């Protein structure tokens, strides 16, 4: 499968016992290392009010990371447009592109608190695809809609009284500013300098067959499907994107990457041990607490756990790929085949940085020999 590129999605996780500064240093080192291993892209996610995640601003982390590597593409996975403007986004990425031209991916996402995404009509599929990929039952985030932490995040991220524009309209504005074609309803031109004319690859990230997939398709943009976040809806998301796709000056056919949670070690048992902190970490996110510092295997085993906790994180545990290089590569081949992905995006979290680097190295070596 060496013809299918692998990329990296980094949340800048903060392991227990370490600091956000440690996490940033580790991410910069990981970008340097994964470039050497042959990964094609290195993306940073955006999360807020999570003690266990230091990636609060993709543009800032990209600027800090850009000089550590020279050939790997760097980008956002994704900038959350719900609490920022098209102009600020284009200007931020324009600043980075001015010093590191031709290497930036601008991944755009919807943020929490917007209108709900549509899902595909009909009975949702649950089970395994013909090639064996697990598609779990849908998970509902409805319990987080009115959660105090969710409401606080929205209040702190948005200016008082501000109403986020329609996501599709924001993407249109981003594209117009990048192309130097922006005009206000009154006909006034706006030119983002730096930003206008930047050699930036625009991606849309989406988790369902809703506005994100439709926006990516109608604009002829690249699309990233989130199997690692919403495994139940990844197939309908990429299908909706392809159905909506219209050729553009940049793309003449749909182009998809799909994300996966991965931990690789020399053997399956060692990998499972390294991944032990994943379940309580996901639980902390889904209860509304916010991501806790990623626990060590021993710390994870010492935490209380209930049947309700298992149910809360079951879909994520069932769909992560943990094991030896061969075991994980086999899972990734199923994911690529089931989704028709042109690339795959790998996110790996372990407590120790060395184990994380080693996981990416082992996977790259296995993938290149397939």
**What is the CATH number for 155?**
3.20.20.30
| Full domain range(s) for residue 158 | 6-368
- Asked if 47 and 12 count as a contact pair (C-beta separation under 8 A), the reply is no
- Quickly state the pLDDT bin for 118 (edges 50, 70, 90): low
* DSSP code, position 229: T
Q: E strands within the chain?
A: 6-10, 41-44, 73-76, 79-80, 104-109, 127-128, 134-135, 200-206, 222-225, 256-264, 321-323, 343-347
Q: What is the number of other CB atoms lying within 10 angstroms of the CB of residue 30?
A: 24
Residues 51, 368: Cα–Cα separation, whole Å: 36
Mean pLDDT of 187-208: 96
Residues 112, 152: Cα–Cα separation, whole Å: 12
The residues, ordered by sequence, that sit 6+ positions from 31 with a Cβ below 8 Å of its Cβ are 8, 10, 42, 65, 68, 69, 72, 74
What burial class does residue 361 get, using C-beta atoms within 10 Å of its C-beta: 0-12 exposed, 13-18 middle, 19+ buried?
A: middle
Residue 287 has pLDDT above 90, yes or no: yes
Helix axes 234-244, 211-218, angle to 10 degrees: 30
Give residue 2's pLDDT.
59
Mean pLDDT of 49-68: 96
Give residue 159's pLDDT.
87
The residues, ordered by sequence, that sit 6+ positions from 283 with a Cβ below 8 Å of its Cβ are 309, 312, 313
- Quickly state the pLDDT bin for 116 (edges 50, 70, 90): very low
Instruction: Enter the tokens of residue 215.
Output: 């926006």
Residues 108, 36: Cα–Cα separation, whole Å: 27
- Asked if 299 and 16 count as a contact pair (C-beta separation under 8 A), the reply is yes
Radius of gyration of the chain from its Cα atoms, rounded to whole angstroms: 20
- Asked if 261 and 347 count as a contact pair (C-beta separation under 8 A), the reply is yes
Residues 211, 237: Cα–Cα separation, whole Å: 10
Instruction: Enter the tokens of residue 214.
Output: 């439709």
Domain-embedded: residue 1:
no
Residue 266's Cβ-side half-sphere holds a number of Cα atoms within 13 Å equal to 0
- The dihedral region occupied by 279, where left means phi > 0, alpha psi between -120 and 50, and beta the remainder, is alpha
- Asked if 42 and 7 count as a contact pair (C-beta separation under 8 A), the reply is yes
- Quickly state the pLDDT bin for 77 (edges 50, 70, 90): very high
Domain count, the chain: 1
Residues 347, 278: Cα–Cα separation, whole Å: 12
Residue 114 has pLDDT above 60, yes or no: no
Is 312 strand, coil or helix?
A: helix
- Quickly state the pLDDT bin for 289 (edges 50, 70, 90): very high
Domain-embedded: residue 38:
yes
* Prediction pTM value: 0.95
Instruction: Enter the tokens of residue 81.
Output: 């447009």
Give residue 1's pLDDT.
54
């Amino acid at each position: 499968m060496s013809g299918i590129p692998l990329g990296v999605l980094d949340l800048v996780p903060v392991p227990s016992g370490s600091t956000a500064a440690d996490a940033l240093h580790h991410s910069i080192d990981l970008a340097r290392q994964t470039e050497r291993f042959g990964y094609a892209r290195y993306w940073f996610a955006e999360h807020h009010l999570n003690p266990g995640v230091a990636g609060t601003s993709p543009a800032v982390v990209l600027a800090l990371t850009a000089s550590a590597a020279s050939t790997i593409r760097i980008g956002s996975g994704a900038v959350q447009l719900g609490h920022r403007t098209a102009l600020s986004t284009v200007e931020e990425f324009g600043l980075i592109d001015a010093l590191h031209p031709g290497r930036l991916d601008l991944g755009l996402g919807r943020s929490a608190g917007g209108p709900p995404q549509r899902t595909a009509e009909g009975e949702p599929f649950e089970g395994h695809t013909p090639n064996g990929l697990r598609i779990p039952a849908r998970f509902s985030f409805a319990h987080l809609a009115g959660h105090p932490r969710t409401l606080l995040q929205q209040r702190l991220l948005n200016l008082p009284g501000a109403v986020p524009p329609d996501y599709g309209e924001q993407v249109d504005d981003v594209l117009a500013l990048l192309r130097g074609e922006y005009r206000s309803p009154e006909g006034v031109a706006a030119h983002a300098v730096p930003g206008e004319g930047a050699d930036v690859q625009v991606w849309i990230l989406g988790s369902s067959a809703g506005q994100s997939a439709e926006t990516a398709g109608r604009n002829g943009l690249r699309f990233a499907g989130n199997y690692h976040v919403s495994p139940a809806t990844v197939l309908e998301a990429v299908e909706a994107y392809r159905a909506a796709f219209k050729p553009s000056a940049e793309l003449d056919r749909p182009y998809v990457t799909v994300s996966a949670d991965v931990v690789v070690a020399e053997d399956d048992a060692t990998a499972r041990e390294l991944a032990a902190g994943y379940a309580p970490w996901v639980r902390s996110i889904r209860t509304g607490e916010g991501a806790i510092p990623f626990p060590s295997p021993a710390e994870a085993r010492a935490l209380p756990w209930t049947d309700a906790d298992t149910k809360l994180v079951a879909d994520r545990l069932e769909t992560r790929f943990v094991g030896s290089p061969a075991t994980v590569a086999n899972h990734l081949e199923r994911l690529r085949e089931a989704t028709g992905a042109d690339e795959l995006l790998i996110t790996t979290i372990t407590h120790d940085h060395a184990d994380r680097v080693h996981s990416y190295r082992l996977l790259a070596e296995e993938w290149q020999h397939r």
